[in-house]
Structure 1
């Protein structure tokens, strides 16, 4: 082992499927060696933990950055037999991944995992002769979510009685007992306006960190003047998604290093750039009554009906090929990508571990109710024609959903959530990919009217900047939820570079 290669250990709490850890694991030093090494990640949810463990395993079996055939076989066909073959070929690496990724629930006033982390760190310090580590993660954010709080306004169990808000104390306990050199903590914007027993939560956090002898830094400005200066707009840093999150960078006061640098602005990346060259897929029917119906015939007829409405009559350019059933996709699954995707600045990132292999796992479209297919068709055509998304006020009356909220549209009144059907515009970064995508695809409609569907797991993962070989375990609902709850790895990588630089470990990353 090179004496210069001394990876900095990382502890990842509330890790989800591992977006933050992936970003930290991918930056390299001047010798092409990883700067950071995750020695322990903790996640409670079963399928997210399975994903976390698999990714740890995948990183350990790469050779020259490429994944072996056995792993490719598994993510192409995730059977028990293929998994067993994979584990049999790499038993030691699987055992190590099973140790690194811990399935467990962090509980206030329970130091079980603090002690475990201390033991992992001591072992790493002894092996590599390093003395400091980095803590990353984000306590579950539903308690601070503005949307979540709005849904609870009629309930007695408000923010102050929500168990999830106390999990921040678990994160704080690791800081207090283990004293990381630096930490990165991610949360939703609602954290800044949340109040706990009459006091601002963000103010509590800042005071806590000052008491523990840490300084909070903004990643977007050298002189933060208010709490909103800690919000990172991911779309300003090369992420194809308008994901706006609070990310707090903390450094220990006794370490005499310059103030950490801030993120460097980058050109915006759009939905069309990262999804536009992926395989064109059709949707399917969720109702058994349509099991024998030809999808192309249905979509063609739906386009004809739409053109006969006043609202749809202006969309002939967008619907003409669909009416004629020309160039409509035939499959619900995209098994392979092209050898290149012109105009996609992240293509090399998505495919970097797959070499010449063209597989594209977890790219299968959902089935939808026929009534929703009509709405998706209209919304995608409207957005393509106008450059913005339709609201329910713009819908043909026949396409309005049967919902009590919609009555106001018919009466010409303002309503709540008039944009409940939303297209991800091709010429812009996407809206925030959230866990709600697991429930339905109404807010994640594909921009191509010909495809008439919501986004696949793989498309959502690309918007979150997960590489195409990053495999999400569980059923499709589990997979969507994991993707929506994650931190974009390519944003995490940029944060990791800042921390590495602050720790005098210059690093290189994908985005230069």
Structure 2
């Protein structure tokens, strides 16, 4: 039986973690709205990959992945089709000034495709203003941060296009921001727009992602539609983080490559195949280790030795000459080793773009922090996912993303609801 064709709008799209999961579930997109130019370039590349794959031209994508052709040549393989894709990636900030133009662009794309309606809206405003860490660092507890109110633009899009269902994603800290009042306001805005809503705190570790990453997933559906929040069954398994990372080539600090392909150091694990992270055609990209100061490597060695002995390093455990921070009362776990023997890694966040101290590779012979590719795998991105832009931006893209495997499970249930 042919599946129903469903169309979605992607707000605050980031690097496309939510999009990737929904695309895999067979959901089409009219538009993606994202202010970061590197994220937009990454989304365009990925959407072009899906176009080529759907048209049995995947070989052309792999030429770009392998470095056999440059980006300009790659994008000019099907110039008209790529132009259509690119026009749907709206690189602009969602604010009062830009909102009318965003709505106009989306309306024009809907008309061109002769669609009667939009089925789904997905996305989550930037989470820094809601995060507990962000609030701890801000003297006003983030209460004056204008990002607190980006949800109102999300609601404006709902009111304009009236989708059957929407998915609003954010960090658990949103529940307590503004002493809980903010989230109450958010819920009331959604209800006033004509939607019944429910939310859950979902953990990506329950969706076959080897990462402990909790997120608030709020869903809404038109009042009177008879829909309800899906029931998600936890996916049990016996895999460990080493099943995720052990086939990647070992690196010393400064070694590796960003876009020049590297070969795997071993065959894929069962997990990598079942999760769709590595296929027989893939190679290793974005696997270049940071350079580290001698002092940091000394700390990494101590942290790994603690890890090997079943202990967690606290900052105050370090020798005096290695304690350079004045703050010795909080954030004492600022150096953390990725646990290969655990069923999931601790949460990957965008701060990894500043330093890798919280994500130390457990191999004492490598003595480094993890690479973009290793972080992307922890997030469940496939190895053929290309992140455009410099390495710092790649880390930010990965750290802010929704794990595609988690997004796929959500998308499957959304499709089931609508069919």
- TM-score w.r.t. length of structure 2: 0.92
Match of 1:296 in 2: none
Per the alignment, residue 337 of structure 1 pairs with 264
Aligned-pair CA distance for 1:138? 0.5
Q: 1:492 is matched with which residue: 393, 407, 410?
A: 407
Structure 2 counterpart of 1:391: 314
For 1:367, the equivalent position in structure 2 comes to: 291
Within the candidate set 394, 411, 416, 2:330 is matched to 416
Equivalent of residue 56 in structure 1, options 19, 37, 47: 47
Shift of 1:18: 0.6
Question: CA contact under 8 A between 2:197 and 2:221: conserved in structure 1?
Answer: yes
Match of 2:100 in 1: 111
Instruction: Give SS of 1:186's match.
Output: strand
| Residue-by-residue CA offset, 1:220-274 (whole Å, 9 max, x unaligned) | xxxxxxxxxx2111112211111111111111113234x2422210125532120
Distance 2:273 2:387 in 1: 20
Distance in 1 (alpha carbons) for counterparts of 2:241 and 2:215 = 19
Of residues 74, 85, 88 in structure 2, which corresponds to 1:97? 85
Contact 1:56-1:100 at 8 Å conserved across structures: no
Matched, 1:351 2:274: no
**1:39 partnered with 2:11:** no
**Uncovered stretches (5+) of structure 2, i.e. residues with no partner:** none
User: Judging changes above 3 Å, is the alpha-carbon distance between structure 1 residues 251 and 172 closer, same or farther for their aligned structure 2 residues?
Assistant: same
SS in 1 for 2:187: helix
**2:369 is the counterpart of 1:454:** yes
Partner of 1:479: 394
Distance 1:348 1:494 in 2: 12
List gaps (5 residues or longer) in structure 1.
28-33, 219-229, 285-330, 407-414, 505-512
C-alpha deviation, 1:105, in angstroms: 1.2
1:20 Cα deviation after fit: 0.5
Distance 1:463 1:56, change over 3 A: same
Q: CA deviation at 1:358?
A: 4.1
Say which SS state the counterpart of residue 367 (structure 1) adopts: coil
Q: Partners of 1:358 and 1:469 in 2: how far apart?
A: 6
Are 1:231 and 2:214 counterparts?
A: no
Q: Aligned to 2:151, which of 159, 162, 168?
A: 168
Q: Which moved more, 1:117-126 or 1:4-13?
A: 117-126
Report which of the two structures shows the higher radius of gyration computed on alpha carbons: 1
Q: Counterpart of 1:427?
A: 341
Structure 1 ranges of 4+ moved more than 6 A? none
Corresponding residue for 1:412? none
Classify the secondary structure of the residue corresponding to 1:382: helix
Determine if the alignment matches structure 1 residue 279 to structure 2 residue 269: no
Query: How far did residue 348 of structure 1 move?
Result: 5.4
User: Partners in 1 of 2:57 and 2:232 — Cα distance?
Assistant: 29
1:397 positional shift: 4.1
SS in 2 for 1:404: coil
Show the counterpart of 1:411.
none
Does the aligned pair in 1 maintain the 2:117–2:161 contact within 8 Å?
no
- Root-mean-square deviation (Å): 2.2
1:243 to 213, 217, 230: 213
SS in 1 for 2:389: coil
Relative distance call for 1:199 and 1:453 in structure 2 (3 A) is closer
Q: 1:401 to 1:125 in 2, by over 3 A?
A: farther
Q: For 2:28, what is the secondary structure of its paired residue?
A: strand
